[in-house]
Structure formats: structure tokens, C-alpha cells
Amino acid sequence: MNNEEGHIQNLNAENINVNNLKYNKIVNYVKEFGSLEEPLQLNNINIKQLDCNNELGSLRIFNKIHDNIPNNRFELINIPDTDYSITTILHNQHMNANYNFCKINGRTYLMCDFNKQPENLIVELILNKL
């Protein structure tokens, strides 16, 4: 195919050789849960689980943290079993917070210990598939 631009809906190919492949953007699907204006309240008290609905792309989670708690933990259900990188963005407060995956008895959790007591903190978590 010698085209400047090509659109392929269905392609079945055998023994294909691509000599030159150019692209100008990569589409990465991101599923959002909550928003900065209306964050979720995921924790081990109110809402203990987030159903990821087997989303195949990246995940963006906005979560309001209760004031004056030492940590945050919630379970991710129906999340594809793959590797992710986690980016943590904190809104409304200066502090350190790093989330980690915890796998316990076949269940997947996101867990974070805070270095100081949060106040009016909204956490934006971006889980990018590797």
C-alpha cells in the first residue's frame, strides 16, 4: 500500500513486511472514574471497591480522601491482569503520596500511606498499561 494516508477496517495478512511506518499520534483510550469536581470516595470505610469493568485502556481515578486519616486503600475488581504504572497527582495540598498495588488472596488493591494528615485532598490516579 503506497498511500500518504490509509484507513483499514479489517486486515488479514500473512508474511507481511513493513519497510517504513510513520505515525503522528498514538491513541490511548482512558476510562475516567469520578472527576475533579465530583470525585469518588473510595476508602476502606465508605466505598471499598471500584469496578474497573475489564477496561482495556488506561484508567484515571479521582478520589476524595477523608480528612485526617493515615492511609487510603480500596479494591479494584474486574481489572485486567496486566502491568500498570501509577501516576499520582495531588490536588489542594502539598504532601507526598505514592500508591502501590497489593495483591492479597487473588484480590487487587491500591494502597497509600500519607506522610502527613490530609485535609481537603483529592487524589488523581492514572493507571497506564505497560
- Which comes out higher in pLDDT, residue 12 or 48? 48
Res. 20: pLDDT tops 60: yes
* All structural domains of the chain with their residue ranges: 30-129
Task: Report pLDDT digits (tens) over 1-16.
Answer: 555 566 666 777 777 7
Task: Report pLDDT digits (tens) over 93-102.
Answer: 999 888 999 9
- Residue bearing cell 473510595: 42
Rounded Cα distance, 42 and 109, in Å: 11
Q: According to the model, what pLDDT value does residue 87 have?
A: 95
Res. 19: pLDDT tops 70: no
Q: According to the model, what pLDDT value does residue 45 have?
A: 78
Task: Report pLDDT digits (tens) over 65-122.
Answer: 988 888 899 999 999 988 999 999 999 999 988 899 999 999 999 999 888 889 989 9
Claim: this prediction has a pTM higher than 0.85:
no
Q: What share of the chain is helix, strand, coil (3-state, %, to 5)?
A: 0, 40, 60
